Amino acid sequence: MKYLDEYRDPVLARRLLAELRTVATSPWAIMEVCGGQTHTLVRQGIDELLPAGIRMIHGPGCPVCVTPLETIDKAVAIAARPDVVFTSYGDMLRVPGTSGDLLGVKARGGDVRVVYTPLDAVRIARENPERQVVFFAVGFETTAPANAMAVLHAAETGLRNFSVLVSHVLVPPAMTAILDAPDNQVQAFLAAGHVCAVMGWTEYEPIAARYRVPIVITGFEPLDLLEGIVLAVRQLETGRATVENQYVRAVRRAGNTAAQDVVRRVFRVTERTWRGIGPIPASGLALTAEFAGFDAESRFATDGVRTAEHPDCIAGRILRGTAVPTDCAAYGTRCTPRTPLGAPMVSAEGTCAAFHHAGRRQSTVEAAR
């Protein structure tokens, strides 16, 4: 299949692994930012075949995982309203909030629908003028343009029964927050290819320079990741720290400027709380004043929502890359994809779920050590 098979060639994969073994002479810790990359690494077992000393740290790039509990609780409260059709991408439905998840709301009679594009939510709003249609606008820079388009579309057609619950987050501020943390172990990044397809990489250049950290924009197929790791290790071994583009088939330095324009028109940069990490300044998107009328949070009073966190799960450390799922006492026992304690166990791109789906168990990891 064009654009897939050629990035899954087993012979080339083994060749890249061999190349990595000759290039790597010192131990290095590299963070793959995006959950999609974590999924490929773990599913293919790439991280287990890396030369001794090369360690992959799994980053916070799963939008489902970092959406704050408070926002999930607001979504659950809004979705439970009888006048609301609540629309969302599929994997937000199972993220546990304080008092349940969106699938539970659906089972109890709430009108919760999976959509594949926010424009479907706009269509549902147009077809159901007597209902309030809310779209759960989550994700990184990747999903922001389409979500912005949906708001623009609703505004242009005068749709009064459409609104968005916004919890957009931005990658670069999360990377600097990780680098600034006192217990940071990350020495190089594989940046998220799809985010860069939209945003380009100019905003990563100051990070690479200031923190002396190599940043390799990397795709999501097995060969992409192996090549990204080789490029990062080459930089680390030679003391370079620049932004390099492995994902040349999708990413240009300037990114997709038309998409950026739409995002800038509809959204403004704001502080956001990241689940498991905490508030990070200028790390998210909120609606601009012009489009504030489409904000579901102000349309539906959600102030009464009380959120409660529980001390057991170590999702925060996992999202910052200072722990792996198998370090968690609850992993695989009290916390499974069936009964997730935390968001990283829910989304296929969550680190805990990626580990669990690939059958990583405490005992396997110990045996490997």
Residue 343 is which amino acid? A
Please report whether residue 107 would count as binding other proteins according to CB under 8 A: yes
Rounded Cα–Cα distance for residues 48 and 101 (Å): 34
How far is C-alpha 117 from the geometric centre of its chain's CA atoms?
A: 17
CB 191 within 8 A of CB 201: yes
- Strand order of the β-sheet with 132-139 is 111-114, 84-88, 132-139, 162-169, 278-287, 267-274
> Of 90-98, 157-165, 207-215, 292-300, which part binds other proteins (CB under 8 A)?
90-98
**Of 24, 54, 69, 154, the one binding other proteins by CB under 8 A:** 69
Cβ count near 276 (within 10 Å): 22
The footprint of other proteins on this chain (CB under 8 A) covers a number of residues equal to 90
CA–CA gap between residue 187 and residue 24 (Å, rounded)? 14
Among residues 86, 89, 201, 204, the one that binds other proteins under rule CB under 8 A:
89
Asked if 91 is part of the footprint of other proteins (rule: CB under 8 A), the reply reads yes
Measure Cα distances from 194 to 34, 191, 215 in Å. 9, 9, 15
Residue 277 sits in the site that holds other proteins (CB under 8 A)? yes
Return the exposure string of 35-55: e unless at least 16 CB atoms fall within 10 Å of the residue's CB, then b: bbbbbbbbebebbeebbeebb
Candidate ranges 20-28, 161-169, 291-299, 304-312; the one touching other proteins (CB under 8 A): 304-312
Nearer to other proteins, 299 or 350 (CB): 350
Binds other proteins (CB under 8 A): choice among 55, 99, 293, 300? 99
Q: Which of 140, 162, 201, 211 binds other proteins (CB under 8 A)?
A: 140
Q: Which residue stretch of 23-31, 77-85, 97-105, 256-264 sits at the interface with other proteins (rule: CB under 8 A)?
A: 97-105
Stretch that binds other proteins, among 148-156, 205-213, 228-236, 343-351 (CB under 8 A): 343-351
Work out whether 51 is an interface residue with other proteins (CB under 8 A).
Answer: no
